[in-house]
Amino acid sequence: MASFQQSVEAAVPALRRYARALTRNADIADDLVQDTLVRALRSERLFQGGDIRAWLFTILTNLNRNRLRSLARRPAMSHLEDDDAADFSGPEAGGRDISRALAGLVEDQREALLLVVLEGLSYREIAEVQGVPIGTVMSRLARARAQIKSYLDGERPALRRVK
């Protein structure tokens, strides 16, 4: 039992990193991590062995999806910020470009990319976390990388054709 709690405690920094990258808000990320830890500790008996980090990332990802569904039911509000100007210059401009490129990704693609880049999870572990086949993970990553590359190269996003 103590080993389980120690493993969960050891995963907290990785959970915080992933949650902050997903939400782009420290307070929301901390709430997500806390909810994840509460669920994990309450559900210790449901853990069937294996990689505890992947299990915790799955819980966090599902909690974030529930949060996003809840937010989708509310009216959207948009804040104007100083960095919304079209002309960026200086060393900080690259960081803003990458943040905007990440923000433009579909949620599933962004989750997969962050799990690879930030946490170093394997494709198989990401497939477990997202509950999809490994081929879907590979597809999501390829699309995410292509979209970020085209954004950073200054290309306009392609419009989808709706039938």
Are the C-beta atoms of 97 and 151 separated by less than 8 Å? yes
Question: Domain extents for the chain?
Answer: 1-73, 90-157
| Whether CATH 1.10.10.10 fits 90-157 | yes
pLDDT at 124: 93
The predicted model scores a pTM of 0.66
pLDDT tens by residue, the chain, 163 residues: 578 889 999 999 999 999 999 898 999 999 999 999 999 999 888 888 888 999 999 999 999 999 988 887 776 665 655 554 444 444 445 556 788 888 888 889 999 999 998 888 999 999 998 899 999 999 999 999 999 888 888 876 555 556 6
Q: Is 18 exposed, middle or buried (0-12, 13-18, 19+ CB in 10 A)?
A: buried
Dig out the tokens for 145 from the structure: 């990388």
- Ordered DSSP codes for 85-152: SS---STHHHHHHHHHHHHTS-HHHHHHHHHHHTT---HHHHHHHHTS-HHHHHHHHHHHHHHHHHHH
pLDDT at 123: 92
Classified by CATH at the fold level, domain 1-73 comes out as Rna Polymerase Sigma Factor; Chain: A (1.10.1740)
